[in-house]
Structure 1
Amino acid sequence: MDWKQIPLGPLQTNCYVLFNENKEAVIFDPGGHGDILNTWLIDNSLSPQAVLLTHAHFDHIGAVEDVRQKWNIPVYLHETENDWLMDPEKNGSSRFLGGATIKAEPADVFITKESELQVGSFHFRLFHTPGHSPGSVSFYHKETETVFSGDVLFENGIGRTDLPGGDYETLIKSINDFLMPLPEDTAVACGHGNVTTIGNEMTSNPFLHGFS
């Protein structure tokens, strides 16, 4: 198992592709530039099995349709944001893209609770981690010791909470309850910026207290 970080879209949001020795793959947050992403998948002889969305803000969903239609695969999203893919107001594209909008068809599978998720040969623990957005989800993959956390936790930072549905106290609780208990060497594959680790954020993140 291995994964690749590929910044895509108008904000260079981190898309991640997790793949195994059989060339099966899952895609996290295809934020844009679907042609670039699809070409990379083809060049690496990968066979995508699903698109897993940490949340449905516009910069994480821009290439959803390009990928879904190319590979005929399901899109997973938390049920709280079930209509955000179709609604430029809710996904934020009408607010931030200067008149341009991003829309996609509804997700194929809605996540409803913390649970175990099996996608082909890939197994995840799901954490509902709201605060940045109401439907934010973090996917913990034990085999690679990685949590794909979207915009919940960053290197020395946290997700913004001033967007619709955001809440600072809820976000801090999500991080403390679900991410901080993970092993300290867990890689945090976040939506923007550098990959970090749980241990690094325990000791250096100014928004988190009581873990040093």
Structure 2
Amino acid sequence: MKWTQMPLGAIQTNAYILENDNKEALIIDPGAEAEKVMTFIKDHALKPLAILLTHAHFDHIGALEAIRNTLHLPVYLHAHEQEWLSDPEKNGSTLFPMVEACRCQPAEHVLTEEQNLQIGNFNCRVLETPGHSPGSVAYYFDDDAVVFSGDALFYGSIGRTDLYGGDQDVLIQSINDKLFSLPSHTVVAPGHGMETTIGYEKQTNPFLV
């Protein structure tokens, strides 16, 4: 499997496009610029299978409806944030005047617990990582040694917890219990900024050392 990081929108939220040898693809967190994502899919002759959401803040779902409706893809999201898709107050889009109120249709697949997901030939483990938001999850691909962490863990930092439903103590516990239990060589592909590794963050992250 290979993945492409695609910073999108005013906040430069990282969307990811994953592809395997069969040209199947998954889209993680399409936050804005739907045409850019769909052009990439078309130019690389990919066959998208689903959209995975790490959480439902506006900057991670801004292009969701356009991509879902055009490519006819199912969406995966944790149950704790199912109603956030249609609620601009909870998804945060009302907090930023430059952002249009974000309202999306419900997710087709609601995650209620940690589980293994198999979508086409993709296999990953869903890890519940609340704190930045109540329904935050990470998608861990063991065979590829990468975890898509959303806004839980960043290079040298952690997610903000001053938005609706945020809790810093819960977030730090999630990182320590879930993400830091992964092998040290695991690549962390975050919702913003550059990639890092679990081992590097264990040793250097000032919020966690």
Do they superpose with TM above 0.5? yes
Q: 1:27 to 1:99 in 2, by over 3 A?
A: closer
User: Quick check: 1:145 aligned with 2:160?
Assistant: no
Task: Indicate the larger mover: 92-101 or 182-191.
Answer: 92-101
Please name the residue that 2:206 is paired with.
Answer: 206
Q: 1:99 to 1:25 in 2, by over 3 A?
A: closer
Cα shift at 1:96:
1.5
- Identical positions, percent: 55
Please name the residue that 2:129 is paired with.
Answer: 129
Work out the CA distance in 2 between the residues paired with 1:99 and 1:58.
Answer: 9
Please name the residue that 2:25 is paired with.
Answer: 25
Structure-to-structure mapping, 1:95-110, within 5 angstroms = 95-98=95-98, 100-110=100-110
Structure-to-structure mapping, 1:55-204, within 5 angstroms = 55-98=55-98, 100-204=100-204
Amino acid at match of 1:163: L
Residues 19-47 of structure 1: CA distance to partner in whole angstroms, max 9, x if unpaired?
Answer: 10110000100000001110111001011
Task: Report SS of the residue matched to 1:40.
Answer: helix
Q: Once superposed, what is the RMSD of the aligned Cα atoms? A: 0.9
Work out the CA distance in 2 between the residues paired with 1:196 and 1:183.
Answer: 13
Q: Runs of 4 or more off by more than 6 Å in structure 1?
A: none
Cα shift at 1:143:
1.9
Cα shift at 1:10:
2.2
Amino acid at match of 1:60: H
Amino acid at match of 2:101: T
Amino acid at match of 1:200: Y
Cα shift at 1:99:
6.3
Work out the CA distance in 2 between the residues paired with 1:109 and 1:50.
Answer: 10
Residues 2-30 of structure 1: CA distance to partner in whole angstroms, max 9, x if unpaired?
Answer: 00000112211000011101100001000
Work out the CA distance in 2 between the residues paired with 1:118 and 1:55.
Answer: 19
Mark the runs of 5 or more structure 1 residues left unpaired by the alignment. Answer: none
Task: Report SS of the residue matched to 1:94.
Answer: helix
Q: 1:174 to 1:204 in 2, by over 3 A?
A: same
Amino acid at match of 1:147: V
Amino acid at match of 1:71: L
Work out the CA distance in 2 between the residues paired with 1:206 and 1:99.
Answer: 32
Work out the CA distance in 1 between the residues paired with 2:13 and 2:134.
Answer: 19
